[in-house]
């Protein structure tokens, strides 16, 4: 099984499970991830998703043996394979439930892209990020929008063009990783964040993620101000917001 599911309270942990290959990505892994994302979106008991890796790595990137085969494919088939991964990343980016990347060991190439497509990145101190594609004549194409968004264009220029390794502490300093903790504390910190996210209204989280996706490519303008005001007005009139406000005033937990 290339992908294992573990339930921890309100969180569903998705474990990449090819430890002997450092969780290298191939078509089977991508399809399993896409399938599980669809299943868990409909599962109301799964409020948060955590993406993690078995063994010594989070994910060492694409399966190079498969890439070598892909180099001999027709252009049409090669594009179809590439689009499958691009579609998975976009699905993660717009996923209505929070996604946390639990990163330990290497998160290289496509593995770094998977982490960047998540909402939060929690890295252990020994984790390491890298975009080595240019060193073997490739381009980090599908993952580049998420890398740029996660670490900013200026830092992305450096690490995409040099292919140098990025230590977890430095990744935290420049804003790619939200937190950097000792390896022994990694699971506890991820669980703490998952529990915090699970306290929020599920519809509010989904709407917030949708709004964030829009804000990332929008300039501040009167039109944007009007659109954000409309979002709040619509949400405030909904049952979830009413319950949230009522529970706050009544000093009790909300009923979601």
Residues designated catalytic = 133
- Say if CB 52 and CB 15 are below 8 A apart: yes
Q: Is 67 exposed, middle or buried (0-12, 13-18, 19+ CB in 10 A)?
A: middle
Residue 120 · residue 193 · CB < 8 Å: yes
d(CA 53, CA 16): 5
Quote the CA–CA distance of 133 and 74 in Å, as a whole number.
Answer: 21
Sole residue written with tokens 């979106």: 41
Distances (CA, A) of 91 to 37, 85, 142, 155, 220: 8, 10, 13, 25, 26
The token pair at 12 is 């569903």
Bridge pairing between strands 128-130 and 165-167: antiparallel
């Amino acid at each position: 099984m290339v992908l294992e599911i573990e339930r921890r309270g309100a969180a569903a942990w998705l474990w990449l499970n090819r430890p002997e290959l450092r969780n290298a990505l191939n078509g089977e892994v991508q399809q399993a991830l896409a399938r599980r994302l669809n299943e868990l979106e409909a599962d109301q008991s799964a409020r948060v998703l955590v993406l993690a890796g078995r063994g010594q790595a989070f994910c060492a990137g694409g399966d190079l043996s498969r890439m070598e085969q892909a180099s001999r494919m027709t252009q049409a088939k090669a594009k179809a394979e590439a689009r499958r991964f691009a579609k998975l990343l976009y699905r993660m980016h717009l996923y209505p439930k929070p996604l946390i990347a639990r990163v330990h060991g290497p998160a290289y190439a496509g593995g770094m892209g998977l982490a960047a497509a998540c909402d939060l990145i929690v890295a252990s101190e020994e984790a390491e990020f890298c975009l080595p594609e240019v060193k073997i004549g490739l381009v980090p194409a599908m993952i580049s929008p998420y890398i740029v968004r996660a670490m900013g264009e200026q830092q992305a220029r450096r690490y995409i063009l040099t292919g140098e390794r990025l230590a977890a502490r430095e990744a935290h300093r420049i804003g790619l990783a939200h937190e950097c903790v000792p390896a022994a504390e990694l699971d506890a910190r991820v669980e703490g964040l998952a529990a915090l996210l699970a306290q929020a209204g599920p519809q509010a989280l989904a709407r917030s993620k949708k709004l964030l996706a829009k804000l990332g490519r929008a300039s501040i303008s009167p039109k944007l101000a009007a659109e954000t005001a409309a979002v709040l007005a619509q949400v405030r009139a909904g049952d979830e917001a009413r319950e949230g406000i009522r529970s706050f005033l009544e000093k009790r937990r909300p009923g979601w």
